[in-house]
């Protein structure tokens, strides 16, 4: 926001006034004020469009004690401040009688009047501010994958895939091409620039890639993307899920994330024409920071028990802490770049169930820590690491990502850089929630695999 756009004495900014006019022109009658809880679930409060101006000038109050990981009952009053730049009409809710729109909001602690430390969007903003102090802007480009399943006669989700297609298949095997087309239409109406879409490796699995953007916009876009995909599937009486591994024995869903830093002159700080890999010293130090903190990052980027059913060798998911410029078995890949502005690194471990604000925040802090300390990246591994035995991995100094949610949470608690990135409030609530989840899984679940293997044997 420029000084000229600043709101005088609590009034409306020029952008907010323009949005109010657009609400009237589009015949918007209801507005969803969206925010994200610590676990990455999108929440919303709906208000009549007539209250939009009040939302801008005064905010909308809500009970924070009802939201996972926010506050205790005795300190429950919170406020939503809508970000005018995130205004978007919801295309699937359009009708002659009126339409719905949404704003993404920042959560304010009413006791202090400051940003709530438990708001994931605020956590990412703090990371962005650290980057700006160092002279950098983070751009990120995600590749979210998802499954589409049939519903049963009661409307409940099944694991029966909607199609029998495979990687890059066409109809008639890829029966979801029309569904993807409608998702893309909706995304474009919400100002996404969709770059590609295709059927993924597994039956019923799909990927839609949208253009990279600055970190905050990308996190907002990921949250929006998940909502659009699921809403569109519902229109077709289908269920879309971003669960990392809904079906055993086939590929799970990842969210490979491309990262690059740009300096204050607008140049890509990751590019170096003279380097063998076209990566600058800044890029390699950033990469080294990500590798050093990878175990703790995993707790945030792979945040549930099911995530670790995906992170196993043999299904294209990375489990080895290394980087490469030629193969996809490493945790970090350096993709080919046609122009200097496209030089970047690709972190391949995140899955689409993660909280995008927290995920990008910990990636950014880890990379910036690498730059500040001048860390040196190890040599790239050009062989297929999946074919290495334990001795070979030890020779190369290749460690393995945590094998369970419990291991990942322990790595998170031991990593001061990542816990500082999350802040004390979110670290405490996140660790508490995920420790309970890991314990419940161990204590309460007996799988069919265990019954088949052991019931009659012992």
Instruction: Based on the residue annotation, tell me whether 348 is a catalytic residue of this protein.
Output: yes
C-beta atoms surrounding 412 within 10 Å: 24
* Residue 125 · residue 138 · CB < 8 Å: no
Packed helices 215-235 and 120-133: angle between N→C axes, nearest 10 degrees: 150
**Phi and psi at residue 149, to the nearest 5°:** -120, 155
Q: Which of 5, 58, 63, 450 is catalytic?
A: 63
Q: Which of 346, 351, 369, 415 is catalytic?
A: 346
Pairing verdict, β 330-333 and 320-324:
parallel
> Catalytic one among 93, 198, 328, 425?
328
* Whether 239 is catalytic: no
Q: What is the token pair recorded at 270?
A: 């990751």
Establish whether 234 is a catalytic residue: no
Q: Which residue has the tokens 């409030």?
A: 425
The answer to whether the CB of 215 falls within 8 A of the CB of 128 is yes
Q: Quick check: is 24 catalytic? A: no
The Cα 241–Cα 243 span in angstroms is 5
The yes-or-no answer on residue 236 being catalytic is: no
User: Annotated catalytic, 346?
Assistant: yes
Going 90 to 94 to 100 to 101, the CA torsion angle's sign is positive
Catalytic member of 16, 81, 145, 292: 145
Cα–Cα distance, 445 to 138 (Å, whole number): 41
Known catalytic membership, residue 63: yes
Active-site choice (163, 174, 200, 325): 200
- Phi and psi angles of residue 150, each rounded to the nearest 5 degrees, phi first: -75, 160
Rounded to 5°, the CA angle 208-213-217 comes to 95
Q: How many CB atoms lie within 10 A of CB 424?
A: 11
Burial 217-231 (b: 16+ CB within 10 A, else e): ebbbbbbbbbbbbbb
Separation between Cα atoms, residue 200 and residue 193, nearest integer Å: 20
Alpha-carbon span 458 to 453, nearest angstrom? 9
145 carries an active-site annotation: yes
Do residues 65 and 76 lie in contact, with contact meaning Cβ atoms separated by under 8 Å?
Answer: yes
How far is 378 from 380, CA to CA, in rounded Å? 6
Closest listed residue to residue 304, CA positions, set 433, 148, 124: 433
226 annotated active-site: no
Distance CA 347, CA 143 (A): 11
Q: Could you say which of 119, 163, 174, 207 is catalytic?
A: 207
Which residues pair with residue 24 across a beta bridge?
none
Task: Name the active-site residue from 348, 365, 369, 415.
Answer: 348
Instruction: Report the run of H or E that residue 246 belongs to, with start and end.
Output: none
Catalytic-labelled residue, pool 81, 89, 119, 143: 143
Which active-site residues does the annotation give?
63, 143, 145, 200, 207, 256, 328, 346, 348
């Amino acid at each position: 926001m420029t000084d000229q756009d600043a709101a005088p004495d609590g009034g409306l900014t020029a952008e907010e006034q323009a949005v109010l006019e657009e609400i009237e022109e589009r015949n918007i009658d209801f507005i969803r004020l969206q925010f994200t809880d610590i676990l990455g679930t999108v929440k919303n409060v709906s208000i009549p469009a007539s209250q939009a101006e009040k939302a801008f000038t005064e905010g909308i109050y809500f009970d924070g004690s009802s939201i996972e990981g926010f506050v205790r009952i005795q300190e429950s009053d919170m406020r939503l401040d809508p970000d005018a730049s995130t205004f978007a009409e919801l295309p699937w809710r359009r009708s002659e009688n009126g339409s719905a729109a949404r704003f993404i909001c920042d959560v304010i602690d009413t006791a202090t009047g400051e940003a709530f430390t438990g708001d994931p969007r605020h956590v990412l903003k703090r990371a962005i501010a650290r980057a700006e102090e160092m002279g950098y802007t983070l751009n990120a480009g995600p590749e979210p994958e998802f499954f589409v399943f049939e519903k049963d006669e009661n409307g409940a989700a099944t694991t029966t895939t909607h199609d029998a297609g495979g990687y890059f298949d066409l109809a008639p095997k890829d029966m979801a091409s029309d569904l993807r087309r409608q998702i893309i239409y909706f995304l474009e109406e919400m100002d996404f620039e969709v770059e590609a879409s295709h059927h993924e490796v597994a039956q019923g699995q799909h990927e839609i890639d949208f253009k990279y953007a600055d970190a905050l916009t990308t996190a907002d876009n990921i949250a929006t993307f998940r909502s659009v995909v699921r809403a569109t599937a519902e229109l077709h009486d289908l269920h879309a899920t971003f669960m990392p591994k809904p079906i055993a024995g086939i590929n799970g869903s990842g969210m490979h994330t491309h990262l690059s830093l740009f300096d204050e002159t607008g140049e890509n700080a990751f590019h170096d024409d003279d380097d063998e890999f076209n990566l600058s010293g800044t890029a390699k130090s950033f990469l080294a920071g990500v590798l050093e903190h990878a175990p703790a990052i995993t707790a945030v980027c792979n945040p549930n028990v099911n995530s670790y059913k995906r992170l196993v060798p043999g299904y294209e998911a990375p489990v080895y802490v290394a980087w490469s410029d030629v193969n996809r078995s490493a945790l970090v890949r350096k993709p080919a770049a046609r122009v200097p502005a496209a030089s970047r690194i690709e972190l391949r471990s995140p899955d689409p169930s993660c909280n995008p604000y927290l995920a990008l925040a910990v990636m950014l802090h880890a990379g910036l820590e690498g730059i500040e300390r001048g860390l040196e990246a190890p040599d790239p591994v050009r062989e297929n690491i999946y074919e290495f035995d334990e001795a070979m991995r030890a020779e190369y100094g290749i460690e393995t990502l945590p094998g369970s949610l419990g291991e990942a949470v322990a790595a998170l608690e031991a990593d001061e850089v990542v816990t500082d990135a999350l802040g004390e409030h979110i670290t405490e609530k996140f660790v508490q929630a995920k420790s309970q989840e890991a314990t419940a899984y161990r204590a309460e679940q007996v799988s069919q695999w265990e019954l088949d293997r052991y019931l009659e044997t012992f």
